[in-house]
């Protein structure tokens, strides 16, 4: 059963300008150390950051809460499997919210899709409840 769907669309140039202006301060406020390491290694790091930004926004929408409702950017993190497939990992209050919205007898599963086509980056997050039986 689907518990929530969220999507976000962001201009990569907007993220590039924020990075140029605030640099490490912006990185440390929004992204995990792992996300920063991965994005800095990319040829076009603003695209990597933009996709991750969009994923965090999409996740908050799928959870049905906004970033102003007590969760922080860093509670949502994009990690990549060896295959390159992105996965969204959440912790803290965001995870508490996810557990609370999941019906008894089900486990939550977060699906994430990221894409970019300059100057745009997009993320879609679908949260499912999977029956344990």
Q: pLDDT (tens digit, 9 = 90+) per residue, 28-54? A: 999 999 999 999 998 899 999 999 999
Dump pLDDT digits (tens) for 103-125: 999 999 999 999 999 999 999 99
Is the CB of residue 133 less than 8 Å from the CB of residue 7? no
Extended strands (E) in 25-119 = 76-80, 86-90, 106-117
Can you give the pTM of this predicted structure?
0.93
Q: How far apart are CA 4 and CA 31, in angstroms?
A: 23
Is the CB of residue 115 less than 8 Å from the CB of residue 55? no
- pLDDT recorded at residue 30: 95
Q: Provide the 3-class DSSP secondary structure of residue 88.
A: strand
Walk me through the domains of the chain, giving residue ranges and CATH numbers: 2-131 (3.90.470.20)
pLDDT band at 16 (very low <50, low <70, confident <90, very high): very high
- pLDDT recorded at residue 133: 75
Q: How far apart are CA 41 and CA 106, in angstroms?
A: 38
The dihedrals phi and psi of 75, each to the nearest 5 degrees, come to -75, -10
């Amino acid at each position: 059963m689907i518990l929530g769907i969220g999507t976000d669309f962001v201009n990569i140039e907007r993220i590039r300008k924020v990075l140029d202006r605030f640099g490490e301060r912006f990185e440390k406020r929004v992204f995990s150390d792992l996300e920063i390491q991965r994005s800095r290694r990319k040829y076009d790091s603003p695209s990597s950051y933009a996709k991750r930004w969009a994923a965090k926004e999409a996740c908050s929408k799928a959870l049905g809460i906004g970033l102003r409702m007590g969760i922080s950017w860093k509670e949502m993190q994009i990690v990549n499997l060896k295959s390159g497939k992105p996965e969204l990992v959440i912790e803290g209050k965001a995870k508490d919210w996810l557990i609370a919205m999941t019906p008894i007898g089900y486990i939550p599963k977060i699906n994430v899709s990221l894409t970019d086509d300059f100057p745009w980056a997009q993320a879609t997050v679908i949260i499912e409840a999977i029956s344990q039986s």
